[in-house]
Amino acid sequence: KLGQPIQERYTEAEVRPKAFEELGKQIQQYMKFVEACKMKEEQYDHIDDANVTKVDKMASEAMMWMNSSMNQQ
């Protein structure tokens, strides 16, 4: 259909801000988890430091990607 690409771009533009907001909330949750682990909170004592570092790295990368993607819009 001729108008389909235009309609898809419009829909994406409408949905994108909410998706970025939700992604940002999830990244914040992971960052809070990492901070809690670094503060040696008792409920996270069983989690290996290597895994915490891995989550920290991935959350930071996701945040950088999100910021970069938002700036391109």
One digit per residue, the tens of pLDDT, for the chain of length 73 reads 677 888 898 988 899 999 999 999 999 999 999 999 999 999 999 999 999 999 999 999 999 999 999 888 7
CA angle at residue 30 from 44 to 48, to 5 degrees? 35
Q: What is the pLDDT of residue 3?
A: 78
Nearest Cα neighbor of 35 from 67, 60, 11, 69 is: 60
Helix/strand/coil for 4: helix
Q: Please tell me whether the overall predicted TM-score, pTM, comes out greater than 0.75 for this model.
A: yes
Distance CA 58, CA 27 (A): 9
Q: What is the pLDDT of residue 21?
A: 96
Distance CA 61, CA 54 (A): 11
Nearest Cα neighbor of 59 from 27, 33, 34, 36 is: 27
Q: What is the pLDDT of residue 46?
A: 94
